[in-house]
Each structure stands twice: as C-alpha cells, then as structure tokens.
Amino acid sequence: MRRFKTALLGMALTILTGCAYGHYLGLHGPSVKNFPDIHQDVTEDAACRECHAPTGDSTGPPTSHPNFTGCLKCHNGPPS
C-alpha cells in the first residue's frame, strides 16, 4: 500500500507541475517578468520562439515545448 501511495504522489506531482498542465489549471510557468530588461518588448508568442528556439541556436535557453501556443499565457505571471 505504501508503494502505491508513493507512486500516486509521484504521478500527481509530475502532472501538476508540468508546464502544460499548469497552464490548463490556471498556474504559470517561469515568468518573463523575472527578466524585465530582456523581455520588455515581448508581446507575442512569435517573439518568444525567436529567442527560445528548440534547436538551441538562439539567444535564450531552448524551449522544451516548441509546438505549444500561448507562451505568454503560461509565462507572463507575477515575478517569482
């Protein structure tokens, strides 16, 4: 029974802390507001993908979910 509870807790944490799941639950990913000097003119998802290309050949860290839309919906919350 203890293994089952541990596995269940692990799965719940994985689901609830994932970026896509967090977005659908009304939570946010790391906020662009943590770096206001870099992100001050970012107002569209296309700008996010220009700097955070999944291939790693961009100026920012690559995204792990390049096909999702709604970058700013997930990553534009209050600074953490």
CA atoms within 13 A on the CB side of 80: 9
Long-range contacts of the stretch 12-17 (C-beta < 8 A, 24+)? none
60 touches 52 (CB < 8 A): yes
Q: What residue spans define the domains of the chain?
A: 2-75
55 touches 62 (CB < 8 A): yes
> Which of the 8 DSSP states describes residue 66?
T
Per residue in 20-37, pLDDT (tens digit) is 566 556 666 788 988 999
Q: What is the pTM of this model?
A: 0.58
The per-residue pLDDT for 36 is 92
